């Protein structure tokens, strides 16, 4: 057998900087995305969305459009194949928005009402734009605000109870020497990946084949099998390259439409969503209204922590933005209460978006902590240290590892925090007021069952197969390093194939759980392979393959609070004339377990911090109350940070060993980096101006209106 059993540690694998394996293909255009793969006889679908926010479709005037050049079909609720959305999938019940064209009701603006299929994409678009749809309109309600009638507390789930608590909140608040009681809001925000959602579907010898852009190909395959009542083994979904996802790329209308159209037309059909369509069809981050009450002793020790969060959902599906979950991990208090509430409006369903719950929740909680620090006259970092819990504040479970204070310590040293004058409005640079701020970050490090296979090839190389998704993070490269380390060979001898549902079930690229979950499956398969290789003599032409399934091991994991942590630091300048806030520098220090590939890890962390900056200062989707539709639903109207807004950002990490972790101490890094950024920036704006900004984004008009407490 080959040389994989040697005791020599493999250099150049886990912990070593590696460029992306597919990087050259991507920058040269050789990498094919879902919308790029050519097929003979390919037809093109173009989606038509509702222009009303609530009502019924009276008629779809298909005939004139069917006479247009190249048009092959117009699918709508009157003629579309039936689907079954009454099932519970991997991540819960499907959003009925994917059960397209099943009835004439319109529950929000931007609801799918028809698909025009034509020989070319241009013909489909021309016809789709010409399609006349008549509606019976009904009154709608799209106004989100705290205290909206119909607000309710959802059931929650085992991973995240809607409401949790201990102690007598009101009594502890009354007994507190210092109290902060503040309301915060965050707006509707969109994850609009560079590559829009696209899928090609075709029937091939009785099997449904889908070329997609998604976060989990077995996940999407299972959803499609459920929706179309197919044997799961007769559905194959692949997503070789994915140009960003951020929570938006699960089963969405585009795959379902492509399958419907290919079933009707008996030829391959591709459906690519437009940039504007993404704004209503692939989810978004709900706006939030949050109230935080903190009660403390004079030294800042928390007696009471109350975090109440509200988000919206659609009338067709419940989505809970778990903004209040953060305090359950971060801070203990004698009385502790956190609740996530929901109100259903006539709007599209929101969904997971990078650090769901934690991103908006940390803005409220970490700003409130800063307000408490100010009131107590305690340094914000010292305040956090004073409230560092020994165990999960609500669960009582031990932390697997918790190095948030090490992050603050290292961050403070590198950022120069010790020299900071705690008083606001003390630094000026021309017309700019300068301030610094900090905030904590955290995100759960979960793991979910996955399968993998590893094949020892006769030529001395190894092939790993796992239905992972590389959504642009470098997952393919990370798994190559992980496999190489486990095999004790150089990464060059390992080939990792991903994103093909035929490889078997695996965790999706989401929840910062991908690398951790997949790594476990890969290293388990390698362990099996080693045993096979020890037993065997020589490798046959087809190679020797070992398989793993971590389902049982995941089920047997001891209960721990397992999270990544971080400390965010920001310095801002506030222009007192224009109200513009500019971030001057940011530093994020993270404790995120074992870092697999420092190069892509750093890039992912910086990316999250850039998004946090964008959330703090720019991003905000505006819904027109009269029409119920978004205003400026494109990347011109929806502001986000551009290069000129982004200063020097540094991201680094501290040691965060977890020797008892059977998965090898890998935590996720996809989401922790956005958490706390907006709070650090808002806290810095307060430090600059002496004025608290509790509503995102911190726009120039808001800064001007609020003025400064010091000028």
Nearer to ligand MOS, 353 or 684 (CB): 353
C-beta of residue 659 within 8 angstroms of C-beta of residue 665: yes
C-beta of residue 473 within 8 angstroms of C-beta of residue 509: yes
Q: Which of 112, 193, 247, 608 binds ligand MOS (CB under 6 A)?
A: 247
The span of 139-147, 330-338, 348-356, 683-691 binding ligand MOS (CB under 6 A) equals: 348-356
61 is catalytic: no
The span of 7-15, 169-177, 353-361, 394-402 binding ligand MOS (CB under 6 A) equals: 353-361
Please, which of residues 470-529 interact with ligand MOS by CB under 6 A? 510-511
Q: Provide the minimum distance between the beta carbon of 677 and ligand MOS in the complex, in angstroms, as a whole number.
A: 16
Question: In which residue are the tokens 């309109």 written?
Answer: 137
CA dihedral 375, 378, 379, 384 (to 10 degrees): -90
Name, in order, each residue with C-beta under 8 angstroms of 581's C-beta and a sequence gap of 6 or more: 572, 573, 574, 575, 616, 617, 681, 685, 698, 700, 703
- Residue 236, beta-bridge partner list: 209
Q: Provide the minimum distance between the beta carbon of 319 and ligand MOS in the complex, in angstroms, as a whole number.
A: 12
Sign of the CA dihedral with 692 first, then 697, 699, and 702 last:
negative
The Cα 378–Cα 298 span in angstroms is: 9
Please, which of residues 178-237 interact with ligand MOS by CB under 6 A? 215
Q: Provide the minimum distance between the beta carbon of 471 and ligand MOS in the complex, in angstroms, as a whole number.
A: 8
Structure token digits, residue 73: 């079909």
Cβ count within 10 A of residue 179: 15
The Cα 494–Cα 241 span in angstroms is: 19
| 588 belongs to the binding site for ligand MOS (CB under 6 A) | no
C-beta of residue 654 within 8 angstroms of C-beta of residue 400: no
C-beta of residue 477 within 8 angstroms of C-beta of residue 514: no
C-beta of residue 476 within 8 angstroms of C-beta of residue 470: yes
Nearer to ligand MOS, 246 or 569 (CB): 246
In 314-413, beta strands by DSSP E: 335-344
| 601 belongs to the binding site for ligand MOS (CB under 6 A) | no
Q: Provide the minimum distance between the beta carbon of 325 and ligand MOS in the complex, in angstroms, as a whole number.
A: 14
Nearer to ligand MOS, 472 or 573 (CB): 472
The span of 193-201, 347-355, 428-436, 687-695 binding ligand MOS (CB under 6 A) equals: 347-355
Nearer to ligand MOS, 184 or 219 (CB): 219
| 55 belongs to the binding site for ligand MOS (CB under 6 A) | no
Cβ count within 10 A of residue 189: 27
C-beta of residue 571 within 8 angstroms of C-beta of residue 435: yes
User: Which residue minimizes CB distance to ligand MOS?
Assistant: 247
| 354 belongs to the binding site for ligand MOS (CB under 6 A) | yes
Tell me which H or E stretch contains 217.
helix 217-227
CA dihedral 455, 458, 460, 462 (to 10 degrees): -20
The span of 230-238, 351-359, 516-524, 598-606 binding ligand MOS (CB under 6 A) equals: 351-359
Q: Which of 289, 312, 353, 672 binds ligand MOS (CB under 6 A)?
A: 353
The span of 219-227, 346-354, 376-384, 694-702 binding ligand MOS (CB under 6 A) equals: 346-354
Nearer to ligand MOS, 410 or 470 (CB): 470
Residue 238: what are its φ and ψ, rounded to 5°? Answer: -130, 150
Q: Provide the minimum distance between the beta carbon of 702 and ligand MOS in the complex, in angstroms, as a whole number.
A: 27
| 356 belongs to the binding site for ligand MOS (CB under 6 A) | yes
Nearer to ligand MOS, 241 or 293 (CB): 241
Query: Which of 195, 223, 620, 671 is an active site residue?
Result: 671
By CB under 6 A, the count of residues binding ligand MOS is: 9
Q: Which residues are catalytic?
A: 671
Which parts of this chain interact with ligand MOS (CB under 6 A)?
A: 215, 246-247, 352-354, 356, 510-511
């Amino acid at each position: 057998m080959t040389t994989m059993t040697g005791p020599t540690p493999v250099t150049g694998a886990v912990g070593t900087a590696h460029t992306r394996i597919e990087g050259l293909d991507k920058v040269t255009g050789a990498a094919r995305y879902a919308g790029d793969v050519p097929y003979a006889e390919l037809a093109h679908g173009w989606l038509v969305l509702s222009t009303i926010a609530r009502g019924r479709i009276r008629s779809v005037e298909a005939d004139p459009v069917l006479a247009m050049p190249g048009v092959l079909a117009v699918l709508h609720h009157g003629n579309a194949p039936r689907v079954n959305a009454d099932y519970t999938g991997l991540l819960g019940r499907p959003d009925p928005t994917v059960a397209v064209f099943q009835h004439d009701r319109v529950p929000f603006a931007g609801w799918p009402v028809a698909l025009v299929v034509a020989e070319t994409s241009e013909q489909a678009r021309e016809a789709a734009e010409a399609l006349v749809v008549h509606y019976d309109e009904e009154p709608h309600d799209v106004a989100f605000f705290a205290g909206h009638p119909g607000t309710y507390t959802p059931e929650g789930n085992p991973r995240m109870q809607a409401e949790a608590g201990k102690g007598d909140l009101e009594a502890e608040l009354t007994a507190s020497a210092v109290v902060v009681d503040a309301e915060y809001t965050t707006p509707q925000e969109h994850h609009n990946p560079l590559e829009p959602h696209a899928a090609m579907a075709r029937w091939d010898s009785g099997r449904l084949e889908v070329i997609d852009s998604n976060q989990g190909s077995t996940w999407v395959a299972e959803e499609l099998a459920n929706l179309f009542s197919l044997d799961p083994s007769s559905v194959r979904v692949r997503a070789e390259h994915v140009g960003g996802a951020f929570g938006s790329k699960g089963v969405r209308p585009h795959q379902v439409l492509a399958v419907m159209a290919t079933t009707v037309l008996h030829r391959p059909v591709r459906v690519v969503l437009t940039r504007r369509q993404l704004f209503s069809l692939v989810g978004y981050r709900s706006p939030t209204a949050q109230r935080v009450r903190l009660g403390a002793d004079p030294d800042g020790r928390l007696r009471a922590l109350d975090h109440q969060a509200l988000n919206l959902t659609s009338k067709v599906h419940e989505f809970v933005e778990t903004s209040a979950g953060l305090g359950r991990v971060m801070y203990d208090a004698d009385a502790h209460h956190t609740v996530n509430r929901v109100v259903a409006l006539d709007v599209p369903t929101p969904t997971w978006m990078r650090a769901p719950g934690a991103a908006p929740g940390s803005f409220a909680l970490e700003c409130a902590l800063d307000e408490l620090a100010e009131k107590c006259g305690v340094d914000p970092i010292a305040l956090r240290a004073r409230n560092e819990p020994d165990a999960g504040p609500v669960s009582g479970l031990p932390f697997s590892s918790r190095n948030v204070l090490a992050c603050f310590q290292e961050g403070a040293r590198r950022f120069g925090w010790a020299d900071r004058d705690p008083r606001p409005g003390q630094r000026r640079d021309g017309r700019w007021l300068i301030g610094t701020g900090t905030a904590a970050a955290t995100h759960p490090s979960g793991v979910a069952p996955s399968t993998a296979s590893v094949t020892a090839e006769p030529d001395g190389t190894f092939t790993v197969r796992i239905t992972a998704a590389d959504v642009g993070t470098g997952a393919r490269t990370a798994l190559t390093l992980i496999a190489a380390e486990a095999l004790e060979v150089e990464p060059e001898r390992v080939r990792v194939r991903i994103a093909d549902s035929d490889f078997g079930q695996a965790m999706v690229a989401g929840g910062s759980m991908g690398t951790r979950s997949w790594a476990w499956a890969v290293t388990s398969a390698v362990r099996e392979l080693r045993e096979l290789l020890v037993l065997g003599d020589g490798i046959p032409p087809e190679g020797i393959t070992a398989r793993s399934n971590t389902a049982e091991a995941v089920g047997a994991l001891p209960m721990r609070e397992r999270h990544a942590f971080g400390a965010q630091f920001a310095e801002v300048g506030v222009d007192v004339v224009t109200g513009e806030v500019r971030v001057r520098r940011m530093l994020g220090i993270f404790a995120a377990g074992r870092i697999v590939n420092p190069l892509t890890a750093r890039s992912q962390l910086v990316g999250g911090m850039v998004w946090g900056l964008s959330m703090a200062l720019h991003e905000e989707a505006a819904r027109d109350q009269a029409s119920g539709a978004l205003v400026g639903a494109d990347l011109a109207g929806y502001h986000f940070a551009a290069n000129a807004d982004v200063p020097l950002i540094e991201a680094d990490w501290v040691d965060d060993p977890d020797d008892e972790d059977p998965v090898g101490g890998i935590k996720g890094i996809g989401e922790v980096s956005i958490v706390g950024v907006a709070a650090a920036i808002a806290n810095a704006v307060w430090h600059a101006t002496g004025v608290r900004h509790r509503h995102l984004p911190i726009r120039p008009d808001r800064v001007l209106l609020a003025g400064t407490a010091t000028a």
